[in-house]
Structure 1
Amino acid sequence: MMPADFNSLAQQCAPGVHPTTLQAIVRGESDFNPFAIGVVGGRLVRQPQNRDEAMATVAALDAGGWNYSMGLSQVNRYNLARYGMDANAALDPCTNLRAGSAILSDCYRRASARMGAGQNALHAALSCYYSGNFKRGFVRDSGTSSYVQRVVSFVASTDPETAKGDVRPIAVVPVATPETVRQTVPRLDPGTGTSAAIGTPSTSRRAQPEHTHPSWDTFGDF
């Protein structure tokens, strides 16, 4: 999936989040592979390249009792039912982005309530999306950059038609209709700091305890 195609899809399926912000997250989570699967406590030899491979892999993971996340925005298996999905639906790009944006929007709403809307709240929301709390995403992993820093860094290389040098926050969407859907999460700004951290929310994209070194990372760079 090309970034330009992704932006069109994001605007259609996840209008509450600025497409540049969502694109930066998805680049880090799945590298735009709608069939990507991240295994907690392990990793796949290679990533699925089509739906049949992905579903066969999911069946094997379920049989083996593995925990995993799926699709463009890497929604955890334990969040599927909460967002009205099964594994097959989670492989649909639009459905997956809708769920991922809902999780990020909830994180941003909670952060904004405590910090005020803006980039600090957006950075805290990214941490929440990554780990389930507003702190872990700011911690550097084994001498590398933190999750929040990595996502922010992806903004500069996103589609120039929408990036414009920053990533916007996510919108709160009370009712999903053309009249009420508004973009409330701003675009992420790569020039701002990433040191903010606040308390722990109850929602994240993954239903799992915080790990010292997250092992669900499919691509080995977190």
Structure 2
Amino acid sequence: MSTFRSWAQLRECVLASTRVFLADLGHGLLAVGHNSLAVLGLAVLSATFVVGGRADVRGTLEAQALDWLLQRQEARSTDAGDLFDHGDLSAVDRATAVDPSELNRQQSVVANWLSRRYRVAPEPVARLVQESWSLGRRVGLEPTLILAIVAVESSFNPFAQSSVGAQGLMQVMTRVHDDKYEAFGGNHAAFDPLTNLRVGVQVLKDCIATAGSVEGGLRHYVGAANLSDDGGYAFKVMAEQEFMTQLLQGRSVPPTARLPVPPVATAQTAPAVEPELPPAQAPAGKAAVKPAPVKAAKTAKIAGAGSTGAQVALVQ
């Protein structure tokens, strides 16, 4: 019995000693933690006063923090999943495109032909054809004439630019007609297909009104109003329009149909095979009617637009 009591007392003593040790250890750690927190808080407070008193140090720290935040934002935005998780649902509203099935029969025939001829998607071409019909009704111009100019000028490339600065689908001289782009937000609107089309049609209408005829208006449009030769520009536009007119009449025109040779080019080749007469026998004014080089007329584009497509085709 005495042995049992001694073991029980020993166990109680051990437990009591353990409780005292743990209690002392906890109080000690708490005291150290309080002191450490106090020291840390004092250090932070001191650093805050130092940084707050020096604008250069504060600016450096703010810049570093901003850079870190921007890097983190960029890293998240470049994640492959985020490219689709944060898509722009309004993008389809900004696209210049329409389903060709929404066009009427005439518009659909022209749109499909132009799409195959110039190797561009049918949806954006369909939208341009639709807009050309609408503009043609409003200003009294044939929509096929508008589309023919687009074809000759830019081959339906809305971002085309000529060497003299004509831009967009209808190659409007943006710096000359910058006032017409003010209503659309500025000159950069020249690369919006529908805006360029509307401005180009307005310029074309003014040119035709000034010249009094479509052919004369085309010469004004390309900047050859005061030149003896427009390099075949008007002929080429009207020939392209004729293709579309034939389509609307139910005729078959292959997309690869080639434009006929302008009469100017044929006339210039005649003197090369004509026997040269002695000066005494030459008709009066022979030298005066000698045709001027075609290239001189091709580079002059100072009026409504510049024909990027026409320049390339005619120089060859």
Query: When the two structures are superposed, what TM-score results if normalisation uses the length of structure 1?
Result: 0.53
Matched with 2:299 is 214
Matched with 2:176 is 79
SS of the residue aligned with 2:162? strand
For 2:241, which of 139, 155, 158 is the aligned residue? 155
- Superposition map of 1:43-82 within 5 A: 68-82=165-179
1:78, distance to aligned residue in structure 2 (A):
1.5
Paired amino acid for 1:214: T
1:161, distance to aligned residue in structure 2 (A):
5.7
Larger RCO (CA under 8 A, 6+ residues apart)? 1
For 1:23, which of 125, 147, 153 is the aligned residue? 147
1:82, distance to aligned residue in structure 2 (A):
1.9
Contact 1:125-1:134 at 8 Å conserved across structures = no
More helix by share: 2
Distance 1:20 1:72 in 2: 15
Distance 1:163 1:18 in 2: 14
Q: 1:139 to 1:13 in 2, by over 3 A?
A: closer
1:153, distance to aligned residue in structure 2 (A):
1.3
Distance 2:142 2:225 in 1: 22
Q: 1:157 to 1:94 in 2, by over 3 A?
A: same
The alignment status of 1:12 with 2:134, answered yes or no, reads yes
Contact 1:4-1:159 at 8 Å conserved across structures = no
- Superposition map of 1:113-192 within 5 A: 121-131=213-223, 133=225, 135-136=227-228, 138-140=229-231, 146-158=232-244, 162=248
Matched with 1:198 is none
Distance 2:226 2:147 in 1: 21
Distance 1:152 1:164 in 2: 19
Contact 2:128-2:194 at 8 Å conserved across structures = no
Bigger CA radius of gyration: 2
1:75, distance to aligned residue in structure 2 (A):
0.9
**Structure 1 residue runs without a partner (length 5+):** 41-67, 113-120, 141-145, 166-189, 196-210
The alignment status of 1:95 with 2:178, answered yes or no, reads no
1:87, distance to aligned residue in structure 2 (A):
3.3
More strand by share: 1
Paired amino acid for 1:158: M
Paired amino acid for 2:241: V
Matched with 1:206 is none
User: Identity over the aligned pairs, expressed in percent?
Assistant: 26
Contact 1:148-1:194 at 8 Å conserved across structures = no
Total equivalences in the alignment: 140
User: What is the alpha-carbon root mean square deviation over aligned residues?
Assistant: 3.2
SS of the residue aligned with 1:153? helix
Matched with 1:203 is none
Distance 2:241 2:248 in 1: 10
Query: When the two structures are superposed, what TM-score results if normalisation uses the length of structure 2?
Result: 0.38
Contact 2:152-2:237 at 8 Å conserved across structures = yes
Q: Any idea what the Cα deviations from partners look like across 1:102-133, whole Å, max 9, x if unmatched?
A: 11111111122xxxxxxxx1100000000152
Q: 1:82 to 1:164 in 2, by over 3 A?
A: farther
Distance 1:161 1:213 in 2: 30
Matched with 1:38 is 162
**Structure 2 residue runs without a partner (length 5+):** 1-119, 252-258, 265-295, 301-305
Paired amino acid for 2:170: S
